[in-house]
Amino acid sequence: MRIVSSWAPLAAIALAVQMSGRTVTPNGDGINDSVAFTLPATQAGFPRAQVYDARGRRVADLAAVSSTQLRWDGRDAAGRVVASGVYLVQISEDSALWSGVVAVAR
């Protein structure tokens, strides 16, 4: 018996992303009001970044601060502060991908 697989190998390259912190407290006091994600300047292409809640729903797209930095202020796409909890952040650029978590404490 011969088994034939239709699965194609996936080539994923990890992005080197640095986070400014892992907790966001979006209360306007100027301390941990947002988290920044810094990508190496050598990366080619334009990074895309989304934030998802624990149920997998997309909450927001990250705002670009510069060509190498993205920032999330703990708000959803409508500008409302999200509920306290853990959120998944995914940043992709071409075939490269990075995933991390951010906790929001209100």
Tens digits of per-residue pLDDT, 20-42? 999 999 999 999 999 999 988 76
Say if CB 68 and CB 41 are below 8 A apart.
Answer: yes
SS3 of 101, please?
A: strand
pLDDT at 3: 55
pLDDT at 48: 87
pLDDT at 51: 98
Using a cut of 0.75, tell me whether the model's pTM lies above it: yes
Q: Split the chain (106 residues) into runs of 10 and give each run's mean pLDDT.
A: 52 80 94 93 76 97 87 96 97 88 95
- Domain boundaries of the chain, sorted by first residue: 13-104
- Superfamily for domain range 13-104: Macroglobulin (MG2) domain (2.60.40.1930)
